[in-house]
Amino acid sequence: MSLHVVIGFGPAGAATARLLVREGHAVRVVTRSGRSAEPGIEHVALDATDSGRLAEAARGAAAIHHCAAPPYHRWASEWPPLVSSVCAAAEESGAVLVMLGNLYGYGLVDGPLTEGLPLAATGTKGRVRAAGWVAAHKLHEEGRIKAVEVRASDFFGPGVTDGGHLAGRVMPALLRGKSVSTLGDPDAPHSWSYLPDVARALVEVAGEERAWGRAWHAPTGPALSVREMVDRLAAQAGTGPVAVRRLPSAVLGAASLFSPLLRELKEIRYQFDRPFIVDSTAYEAEFAARATPVDEQIRATVDWWRERSAATG
């Protein structure tokens, strides 16, 4: 049994922490506010940008799983110091730094996304996320830390409640047989990252030295459009067919005046206006984790949302 530190307890952090517990590891979760203890998980309240306190929390750890992220509209100011602190803690503790990344750093790309593409984003959020990995990778190349990044697309699955694509705004309506609205083209193929698969990859690469020093795409199933995913979810829930409507640009523009999140989404609209397809064959050629079959993803997601709805009324 080894100690793993997980920074952040959103959907990815929570799924990773609980998977580590199931695999027999000791887990320490770091968040600003802390949480009540749960079996196998120690919750510690501290600001992860405090590198000294974070290094102390990571002392003796085999790996640090960096799964935290500020709100979208604060990425530019808060992401760089967070990454700097996490890297410093990894250097002082000797723990492997496992970073949860996304695909924004590539920017607009024609064709499937592979890890070999340049990090050529022109938007603020894409540049910030790319710079975080570049900084960690440089320290890895210098022999100061051991770092690896797992990049994922839009989260989907049990535990994912935030976001509007297939989560908080869509699932409750879908379970009631109500129409749903979506950003971008509802018929454009899109790759979805099933949360349990992302957690499995984050746990797996921590213990695989041959994974370190580069970025990997989390195991990802076939690309399916928003409409196809909604059709499958509604069929599983027994509430279909459910209408899927594209949000008009005028509505988005007006709403963005009052919503920081919607304003920030303008930068990544291209991911839903056109095909957005992730190639994860490099990961699958090297490691054991595989994408969960889509039918299982759909079934587990509907079951989780039904249980949540029953619990919350």
Supply the CATH number for residue 96's domain: 3.40.50.720
The verdict on residue 268 lying in a domain is no
Mean pLDDT of 121-130: 95
Query: Residue 93's pLDDT is what?
Result: 96
The verdict on residue 198 lying in a domain is yes
Coil vs helix vs strand at 45: strand
The verdict on residue 226 lying in a domain is no
Residue 257, pLDDT above cutoff 60: no
Mean pLDDT of 76-103: 97
The verdict on residue 37 lying in a domain is yes
Characterise 94 by phi-psi region: left (phi > 0), alpha (psi -120 to 50), beta (else). Answer: left
The verdict on residue 186 lying in a domain is no
Of these ranges, 66-80, 154-168, 263-277, the one predicted with the greatest mean pLDDT is 66-80
Q: Please tell me whether the peptide bond between 248 and the residue prior to it is cis, using omega within 30 degrees of 0.
A: no
Query: Residue 310's pLDDT is what?
Result: 84
First to last CA, the chain: 40
Q: How far is CA 213 from CA 142, 183, 198, in A?
A: 11, 35, 18
The verdict on residue 23 lying in a domain is yes
Q: Mean pLDDT score of the chain, rounded to an integer?
A: 93
* pTM (two decimals): 0.95
H/E run at residue 193: strand 192-194
Of 52-61, 165-174, 224-233, 248-257, minimum mean pLDDT range: 248-257
Q: What percent of the chain has pLDDT over 70?
A: 94
Structure tokens at 217: 């795409």
Do the Cβ atoms of 27 and 17 come closer than 8 Å?
Answer: yes
Q: How far apart are CA 271 and CA 217, in angstroms?
A: 16
Q: How far apart are CA 272 and CA 191, in angstroms?
A: 10
Residue 280, pLDDT above cutoff 90: yes
Residue 191, pLDDT above cutoff 80: yes
Which one-letter amino acid corresponds to residue 167?
A
The verdict on residue 78 lying in a domain is yes
Residue 116, pLDDT above cutoff 70: yes
The verdict on residue 172 lying in a domain is no
Query: Residue 240's pLDDT is what?
Result: 86
Mean pLDDT of 216-231: 97
> Total structural domains in the chain?
1
Residue numbers of the domain that contains 24: 3-154+193-220+278-292
Contacts of 180 (CB under 8 A, 6+ apart): 169, 170, 173, 174, 230, 242, 243, 244, 245
Q: Which residues pair with 266 in a beta bridge?
A: none
